[in-house]
Chain A
Amino acid sequence: MSEQKTYKQAFQRIEQIVSEIEGEDPDVDKLTDLVKEGLDLLKYCKQHLRTTEEDLKSTLGDVDN
């Protein structure tokens, strides 16, 4: 991931990759690169979710105090 993407952009790209892979005529030459890109984006998204969750917990904790 050279450029910084938002969660939404990353998610949309993953959807695009999945749809290509699950399509009728996936291109084998691109397969490795697509899967690698997809997994990278997945990792990024998960990290994003985790960070968001922690931020939320911290923020909601603040309210309780």
Chain B
Amino acid sequence: MQHITLHQLNTIIQKTLDQHLERNYWVVAEIGEIRVNQKGHCYLELVEKEGQKLLAKIRANIWAYDYYNLNNLFRSVTGQPLKGGMKILSRVVIQFHEVYGMSLHIKDLDPNFTLGERARHRQLVIERLTKEEVLHRNKRLALPLVPQRVAVISSRTAAGYGDFMDQLMDNPLGYAFDLTLFETMMQGEEAVRSIVDALKKAGDAKEQFDLVVMIRGGGSQIDLDCFDDYTLALEITGSPLPVVTGIGHQRDDTVADMVAHTKLKTPTAVAEFLLSGMEAFDQQLSYQADRIKDLALQLLSDQQTKLFGLMKNLDHSAKLAITHRNHQLQLLNQRLRAGALTMLNREEQKLSRFLQVFKQSPNQILSRRFQELELMHTKISLADPVNILKRGYSVTYLKGKVLTPDSKLKVGDEITTKLAAKIIKSNVTDINEP
């Protein structure tokens, strides 16, 4: 089979290009990537996109001599240096090198054609977020006092993630971090959905985290497109946790950076930021500890002084109070003693009166009874017939019965007359009615 060498092919390509191409073209393209080497040569990656989709891409360069002037001109007109994301209008010469392939040599720029598709897109996103009044929503959240429990949104394989972890885990002050990785795609078409999901998950578990960091290592600037996405930006602004970005680029901020609570250039810078937060808290603790110590000592000293004063007062007051109470007690003691003795005395008197009764009353009673008996004796004695007979009276019986005025007495009856010392029997000789 007939064939040619690669060099021959490249030579053919070069000749064909030379024959068919114009000397130069004015081309509209977006700067996907731009960097300047030590010699001052500028290397770019020019792209054309439709939405997030890449339609065309080619390497380009501006030699140091041109770059110095072109960049200055560009800056003077736009206020910004050449940077990724800008759409530029440049006059290019197509170069084809047998070894390095095709590239564009930028000879001139139209700085008036400045804001590229991407920058304009960003501007639109920013305007929309501003209109919706959410642009600074995440910034209004307070940073945690201690940024210790961190939700990390990153790709496990990203170089920046490794740097971040090393920096935190080997921190010289030995601060402990509780890091939870929400693994995501950090570039490409799936990146936005993947990062939004991770933000939602971290937000749902907000009690477990102090903040969210979104990190990604270096890489081509073209890969940063997803960080200008409206959906992602909106999710960041609505996160209940402060979001710190370290997307790893040196160019102008992405929209994600702009709406994040704190934006830092690199994952390493994020790690330093977290460490500085911990250190600040640590210092604050030390400061507070010192303050507590000082205040405590001051308090102790004040209280000692007060106590000393109080002790002096207390001593005096206590003595006064004791004297007063003692006096009161003495008075009470006297009253108690007097009262008790008076009461005893009164009882004693009552008992004495009773004794008097017991000594006198029985004799009086007996004496009264004797008198009563005497009286009765006298009365009885007076009524005794014997005593009447003794005084000269007599009793006459007729036939054994006492002779009374009603008795039927006739002459010749025998009557018996009883005297005190004699009994006389006699016959009735005469009866007269007086």
Residues of A within 8 A of B (CB): 7, 11, 14-15, 18, 21-22, 26, 28, 31-32, 35, 38-39, 42, 45-46, 49, 52-53, 56, 60, 63-64
Contact = CB atoms under 8 A, between A and B. Distances in A.
Interface stretch (B16-24, B250-258, B361-369, B398-406): B361-369
Interface of B: 329, 333, 336-337, 340-341, 344, 347-348, 350-351, 354-355, 357-358, 361-362, 365-366, 369
A46 B351 contact: yes
A21 B361 contact: yes
Contacts of B365: 21, 26, 28, 31
Given A28-B365, A31-B365, A42 B355 contact: yes
B357 A21 contact: yes
A60 B337 contact: yes
A39 B348 CA distance: 14
A34 B31 CA distance: 140
Contact of A49 (B347, B361, B362, B369): B347
A22 B157 CA distance: 127
Given A21-B362, A21-B365, A22-B361, A42 B354 contact: yes
Contacts of B340: 56, 60
Given A49-B344, A52-B344, A56-B340, A38 B369 contact: no
B contact face: mostly helix, strand, loop, or mixed: helix
B348 A35 contact: no
9 contacts: A11-B350, A31-B362, A39-B358, A45-B347, A45-B351, A46-B351, A52-B344, A56-B341, A64-B333
Nearest to B357: A18
Contacts of B336: 60
Given A11-B350, A60-B333, A64-B333, A42 B358 contact: yes
A64 B333 CA distance: 8
Contacts of A11: 347, 350
- The 5 A-B pairs of least Cβ separation, nearest first, read A21-B361, A18-B357, A56-B340, A38-B358, A60-B337
Contact of A63 (B333, B355, B361): B333
Contacts of B341: 53, 56
A7 B337 CA distance: 20
B322 to A, nearest CB: 16
Contacts of B347: 7, 11, 45, 49
Given A28-B366, A60-B333, A14 B361 contact: no
Contacts of B344: 49, 52-53, 56
Contacts of A21: 357-358, 361-362, 365
Given A21-B361, A53-B344, A64-B333, A14 B369 contact: no
Given A21-B362, A26-B365, A49-B347, A14 B354 contact: yes
Contacts of A14: 351, 354
Nearest to B348: A49
A15 B369 CA distance: 23
B366 A38 contact: no
Given A28-B366, A53-B344, A60-B333, A42 B361 contact: no
Contacts of A38: 354, 357-358
Contacts of B329: 63
A49 B342 CA distance: 12
A55 B240 CA distance: 86
Given A14-B351, A60-B337, 19 more contacts: A15-B354, A18-B357, A21-B357, A21-B365, A26-B361, A28-B366, A28-B369, A31-B362, A31-B365, A31-B366, A32-B362, A39-B355, A42-B358, A46-B348, A46-B351, A49-B348, A52-B344, A53-B341, A60-B333
A18 B354 contact: yes
Contacts of A63: 329, 333
Nearest to A27: B365
A38 B337 CA distance: 30
A15 B354 CA distance: 8
A64 B336 CA distance: 12
A45 B346 CA distance: 13
Contacts of B362: 21, 31-32, 35
A51 B333 CA distance: 20
A36 B383 CA distance: 40
Nearest to A52: B344
